[in-house]
Structure 1
Amino acid sequence: MKLGFLTACLPGLSLEHIAAWAQAHGYESLEVAAWPLQGDRPFTATHIAAENMGDAEIARVQGIAQRHGLTLSSLAYYDNNLHPDPAERARVHAHVRCCIDAAASLGVPTVGTFVGRDPTRSVSENLREAERVFRPLVEHAGARGVKIVIENCVMEGWHPDGYPGNLAYSPELWEWMFDVGLYLNFDPSHLVWLGIDPIAAVRPYIHRIAHAQAKDIETFPALQNRYGFYGKMRDRKDAWDMGWWRYRVPGLGQVDWVRLVDVLYEGGFDGALSVEHEDPVWGGTEDKVKTGLEIAHRTLRPLVVR
Structure 2
Amino acid sequence: MALTYGAYTACLQDRPLSAALDVLKEAGLTGAEVNVGGFIPSPHCPVDALLASAAAREDYLGVFESKGMVLSGLNTSGNPVSPLPNEGLKHAEDIRNAIRLAGLLGVKEIVTMSGTPGTDPTAKYASWVVNPWNGIDLEILDYQWSVIVPFFKEIDALARDNDVKVCLELHPRNVVFNVPAFERLVEETGATNLRVNMDPSHLFWQQMDPIAATKRLGDLVGHVHAKDTRIFPGVAYRGVLDTDFGHVPADAEGRTPTAYGYWCSAWPQDPAWRFVAFGLGHDTDYWAEFLRAIKTADPDMNVNIEHEDAEYGNVEGLKLSAANLLAAAAAV
Question: If the TM-score is normalised by the length of the shorter chain, which range does it land in?
Answer: 0.7 to 0.9
Matched, 1:231 2:242: yes
Note the alpha carbon deviations across 1:265-288, whole angstroms, 9 max, x for none: 233342111001111111xxxxx2
Residue 77 of structure 2 aligns to a residue whose secondary structure is strand
Matched, 1:299 2:301: no
Quote the offset at 1:56 in angstroms.
Answer: 3.6
Quote the Cα distance in structure 2 between the aligned partners of 1:269 and 1:124. Answer: 37
Identity of aligned residues (%): 24
Quote the offset at 1:184 in angstroms.
Answer: 0.7
- Aligned residue in 2 for 1:201: 213
- Assess if the C-alpha contact under 8 Å between 1:51 and 1:95 holds in 2: no
- Aligned residue in 2 for 1:120: 119
Q: Which amino acid aligns with 1:100?
A: I
Matched, 1:268 2:268: no
Quote the Cα distance in structure 2 between the aligned partners of 1:116 and 1:244. Answer: 24
Residue 80 of structure 1 aligns to a residue whose secondary structure is coil
- Aligned residue in 1 for 2:10: 8
Quote the Cα distance in structure 2 between the aligned partners of 1:268 and 1:85. Answer: 37
Matched length: 284
Residue 155 of structure 2 aligns to a residue whose secondary structure is helix
- Assess if the C-alpha contact under 8 Å between 2:4 and 2:303 holds in 1: yes
- Aligned residue in 1 for 2:224: 212
Q: Which amino acid aligns with 1:278?
A: E
Quote the Cα distance in structure 1 between the aligned partners of 2:276 and 2:219. Answer: 27
- Aligned residue in 1 for 2:46: 49
- Assess if the C-alpha contact under 8 Å between 1:83 and 1:116 holds in 2: yes
Cα RMSD (Å) of the superposition?
A: 2.1
- Aligned residue in 2 for 1:162: none
- Aligned residue in 1 for 2:57: 58
Q: Which amino acid aligns with 2:4?
A: K
Quote the offset at 1:230 in angstroms.
Answer: 1.5
Quote the offset at 1:117 in angstroms.
Answer: 0.3
Residue 302 of structure 1 aligns to a residue whose secondary structure is helix
Quote the Cα distance in structure 1 between the aligned partners of 2:282 and 2:41. Answer: 25
Matched, 1:147 2:172: no
- Assess if the C-alpha contact under 8 Å between 2:16 and 2:43 holds in 1: no
Quote the Cα distance in structure 1 between the aligned partners of 2:35 and 2:86. Answer: 23
Matched, 1:254 2:270: no
Q: Which 4+ runs in 1 deviate beyond 4 A? A: none
Change (3 A) 1:232 1:139: closer
Residue 202 of structure 1 aligns to a residue whose secondary structure is helix
Note the alpha carbon deviations across 1:122-152, whole angstroms, 9 max, x for none: 2232122101111112111110111111111
Residue 207 of structure 1 aligns to a residue whose secondary structure is helix
Residue 34 of structure 2 aligns to a residue whose secondary structure is strand
Quote the offset at 1:253 in angstroms.
Answer: 1.1
Change (3 A) 1:13 1:244: same
Quote the Cα distance in structure 1 between the aligned partners of 2:95 and 2:303. Answer: 22
Quote the Cα distance in structure 2 between the aligned partners of 1:52 and 1:298. Answer: 35
Aligned ranges 1:235-246 → 2 under 5 Å: 236-237=246-247, 239=265, 241=267, 243-246=271-274
Quote the offset at 1:86 in angstroms.
Answer: 4.5
- Assess if the C-alpha contact under 8 Å between 1:207 and 1:269 holds in 2: no
Aligned ranges 1:88-167 → 2 under 5 Å: 88-121=87-120, 122-154=140-172, 165-167=173-175
Note the alpha carbon deviations across 1:143-200, whole angstroms, 9 max, x for none: 011111111121xxxxxxxxxx212221111212333321111101111111111111
Quote the Cα distance in structure 1 between the aligned partners of 2:19 and 2:272. Answer: 36
Residue 304 of structure 1 aligns to a residue whose secondary structure is helix
- Aligned residue in 2 for 1:159: none
- Aligned residue in 1 for 2:309: 279
Q: Which amino acid aligns with 2:316?
A: T
Note the alpha carbon deviations across 1:234-261, whole angstroms, 9 max, x for none: x644636362111011111137212111
- Assess if the C-alpha contact under 8 Å between 2:119 and 2:144 holds in 1: no
- Aligned residue in 2 for 1:157: none
Query: Which of 1, 25, 35 matches 2:37?
Result: 35
Residue 247 of structure 1 aligns to a residue whose secondary structure is strand
Quote the offset at 1:112 in angstroms.
Answer: 1.2
Quote the Cα distance in structure 2 between the aligned partners of 1:253 and 1:45. Answer: 29
Q: Which amino acid aligns with 1:268?
A: D
Structure 1: gaps (5+ residues): 155-164, 283-287
Quote the offset at 1:116 in angstroms.
Answer: 0.7
Q: Scaled by the length of structure 2, what TM-score is found?
A: 0.80
Quote the Cα distance in structure 2 between the aligned partners of 1:241 and 1:194. Answer: 17
